[in-house]
Amino acid sequence: MAIESYASHTIDIEQRVDFELNEMQLKMIIIAGVLNIIGALLVPWILKGQASLSLIFTWYFILAFLNLSNICFSLAFQFAKITPDKISPWLNAYRFFFIPCVSVIWGMIGVLFTSADLIHQLYLIILLLAVLVCFGLGTISDFKASIISICGVLLPSIIFRLYAGLNSIGTAGHDPHLNLGIGVCFILLGICLSASCYVGYRLIKKSFVLTYVNIDLNKKLENMNKFLEQRVKERTIELEDSLKVVTYQATHDLLTDLPNKRLLLEYIDSAVNSATNNNHHMFGIVIFSLNEMEKIIDGLGHHAGDLVIKIISERFKKAFDKPIIYQFHSINYKVTLSRKDTFIILIDPIFELTKIEEKLAPLFAILDEPVNFEKQTIKLTASAGVSFYPKDGMDAESLLMYASTALMHSKQQGGNISTVYTSDNHNVEISKQIELESKLHNALKNNEFILQYQPIVSLKTGTIACVEALVRWKHPTLGMIYPDKFISLAEADGIIVPLGEWVLQTACSQIKKWHEEGFYGLKVAVNLSSKQLQKKNIVETIEDILRTTGLAPEFIELELTESVAFQKDTISIIKKIKSLGLSLAIDDFGTGYSGLSNLKLFEIDKLKIDKSFVRDLETNDDSKAIVTNTIALAKKINVSVLAEGVENKEQLKFLQEHHCDLIQGYYFSPPIDPDVFADKFKNFKFKPLVN
């Protein structure tokens, strides 16, 4: 098929080239005709006094007439707008009639005007040669025409000279031998000229063909480029769309379409920013919990629960889609859904704490009208807890914690009231935090940290591809403390930097040791905090650790969360780290807000689907959709995808069916001490589930 199309393509080019050459030839006729008429004027001048004037002028007029008709013929031809199929009859007439006539007339001067004067003879021969060269060049784009013109010019002289030579006829006093010699010379000259014309013709044709092939190739390349550009555009749009879907689903509740807690954290962050940047205003966080939801679900089923939450959500959306005006101030209510019975509302800005009841009233007003379900009328009540920025906390975590403490108070009071947080609501937790913080300072020095390792299983090979190193604080009196309790404290006072270094160093040494013990190719994943990336010498630190432990960089994977990885000032550092040969995983994927452009900022090797989505796989359609879409997205951008927090067979089955690459979770193993790991997994081989 390919050969066939190549052949037809070549034929096509040959035809186009032939047509082009023929057209060129027709243009040459006009130039040659004019030159002929002018050039032939030399003849009467050269032969002045040597031949009869009437003979010379008769010769000249025949030649001029033939050339003029030739020119007219060619002009008519140009105006007639020839097509490739019509060109050849015209050309044949020209080749086989005009050219022979004109060239023979020219050749006649060698016969008609033989002179005894050698100088004149020489002039004539030079003129004949010049004419021959002109004819040769003029007809070079048409080889047949070249041959005919060369023969036409030379034949009269050759026949005449050979005849005279052979019959010993001395012409104009010339020696018969000289005539024979001239005749033979003309024959040789004809052969040489024909050969040169052939070479010239082939060269011209070849250069035309090459030009056409070039043009053709360029066109093809251009088309291909256009096609590729189009494909890239389509792919980018496709990817952007799927990422938009993932991001939307990750930030919204599917049932009610209200923003979820992830988006709430964004709202709070931006409220904190605008509060500090603008005019130090306050804002409030309200946790608004429906009191009767559990009873409704128990009595009427999940369906009723879903319906109630949907109706209340619609009322919230309608009531707060625009800011509410209080005494010339417009106040925004951003309503989000945290659980199936709890809304969290950001009220921004707040100017006076004393008038807060007035701001909470519209929230309770939502429940004034009862909800109808299958002929039943359900009257709902709610409890609310409120905290304020900056009075109660400077960040989302503390504001939410204090609002939920206040909510507890409301519930303890019997519900259907709101409580504003005050320090007497709760301060035990805070003093615990302060105590922990002071102990953390000496923990690294006292060797109180240990690493546990959790295996990551490849569903393709059924082997342990990697382990995640997870730090624990083994306090002599408080016992084992898990990272959720101390990592944020360590980040806040900077201890995370030396701690992170210790983690990387210890994990690399452990992996090196395991390689030597037979766990060939095992990789280690290490979590990296944003504070570590902000340190200028992070790249050198990693290089040092690679050098001292002797572990090759391809066995180390760094885990970064989206918010850490895609900050403007960390991108160049991450690129440098990548250039060392380490791989990079995006941790807790789906909980941040990566745009597609972010995913392209540097080469990512893995997406880790957050365990919150895996946990809810069986019960929550949103989570199911997020997991499925994240796997599809990872396949599209060609990175591997890992699901963490896999605890049971059902989750594993779902992930296996959706072609997730890697699995991590209690189903295989919790994080364990290194000495236990070696014993437990020496001969591990996972068999995929079969139905």
Q: List residues binding Ca ion (CB under 5 A).
A: 527, 559, 587-588
* Identity of the residue, 391 or 653, whose beta carbon is nearer to ligand C2E in the bound complex: 653
Tell me, what DSSP letter sits at residue 610?
A: -
Nearest approach in angstroms of CB 435 to ligand C2E is 20
Tell me how far, at minimum, the Cβ of 5 lies from Ca ion, in Å: 54
Give whichever of 406 and 646 is closer to ligand C2E, judged by the CB atom.
646
Tell me the torsion sign for CA atoms 190, 191, 197, 198: positive
Residue 345 or residue 662: which is nearer to Ca ion going by CB?
A: 662
Q: Which is nearer to ligand C2E, 450 or 678 (CB)?
A: 450
Output 282 or 524, the one with its CB closest to ligand C2E: 524
Query: Considering beta carbons, is residue 551 or 560 the nearer one to Ca ion?
Result: 560
Residue whose CB is less far from Ca ion, 456 or 545: 456
What does 471 interact with, of Ca ion, ligand C2E, none (CB < 5 to 8 A by kind)?
A: ligand C2E
Reference 287, options 414, 402, 422; nearest CA is 402
Q: How far is the CB of 242 from ligand C2E (least distance, A)?
A: 24
The amino acid at residue 137 is L
Q: How far is the CB of 610 from ligand C2E (least distance, A)?
A: 7
Task: State the minimum distance, in angstroms, from the CB of residue 430 to Ca ion.
Answer: 27
Of 39, 45, 37, 42, which is closest to residue 61 (Cα–Cα)? 37
Smallest distance from Ca ion to CB 247, Å = 18
Considering the complex, state which of residue 284 and residue 500 has its C-beta at the smaller distance from ligand C2E: 500
> How many residues are recorded in the chain?
691
Least distance CB 492 / ligand C2E (angstroms): 13
Whole-angstrom Cα distance, residue 401 to residue 395? 10
Helix (H) and strand (E) counts for the chain?
26, 17
Q: Does an H or E element contain 174, and which?
A: none
Side chain identity at 124, as an amino acid letter? L
For residue 507, the minimal CB distance to ligand C2E (Å) is 8
Task: Work out what residue 454 binds among ligand C2E, Ca ion, none; the CB cut-off runs from 5 to 8 Å by kind.
Answer: ligand C2E
Q: Which is nearer to Ca ion, 527 or 570 (CB)?
A: 527
d(CA 528, CA 539): 13
For every residue of 246-301, which 3-state class applies, written as one string? Answer: HHHHHHECCCCCCECHHHHHHHHHHHHHHHHHCCCCEEEEEEEEECCHHHHHHHHC
- The amino acid present at 336, given as its one-letter code, is T
The residue nearest ligand C2E at its CB is 665
Instruction: Please state the separation of Cα 148 from the chain's center in Å.
Output: 62
- Pairwise CA distance, residues 119 & 393, whole Å: 119
Report the distance separating Cα 479 and Cα 482, nearest Å.
10
Minimum distance, C-beta of residue 544 to ligand C2E, in the bound complex (Å)? 18
Contacts 24+ apart (CB under 8 A), 212-218: 212/13, 212/16, 212/17, 213/13, 216/9, 216/13
Cβ-based nearer residue to ligand C2E, 335 or 646: 646
Q: Does residue 349 have a cis peptide bond before it, meaning omega lies within 30 degrees of 0?
A: yes
Which residue, 43 or 617, is less far from ligand C2E as judged by CB? 617
Closer CB to Ca ion, 341 or 588, in the complex: 588
Query: Which one, of 254, 261, 248, lies nearest residue 612 by Cα?
Result: 261
**Which of Ca ion, ligand C2E, none does residue 628 bind to, with CB < 5 to 8 Å depending on kind?**
none
CB of 669 to Ca ion, least distance (A): 15
How far apart (Å, rounded) are the C-alpha atoms in residues 268 and 266?
Answer: 5
Tell me the closest approach of the beta carbon of residue 257 to ligand C2E, in angstroms: 28
The Cα 658–Cα 624 span in angstroms is 11
Contacts of 650 (CB under 8 A, 6+ apart): 617, 618
Determine the 3-state secondary structure of 59 from DSSP.
helix
Give the residues lining the site for ligand C2E (CB under 6 A). Answer: 454, 470-471, 482-484, 487, 500, 503, 527, 529, 559, 587-588, 611, 644-647, 664-666, 671
- In angstroms, give the least distance from the CB of 664 to Ca ion: 9
Residue 449 exposure: Cα atoms within 13 Å on the Cβ side: 27
CA dihedral sign of residues 351, 353, 355, 360: positive
* CB closer to Ca ion out of 292 and 587: 587
Q: Which residue has the tokens 């994977």?
A: 557
The tokens for 532 are 């570590």
Measured distance CA(120)–CA(47) in Å, rounded: 7
CB of 584 to Ca ion, least distance (A): 12
In the chain, % helix, strand, coil (3-state, to 5) comes to 60, 15, 25
Residue 470 touches which of Ca ion, ligand C2E, none (Cβ within 5-8 Å per kind):
ligand C2E
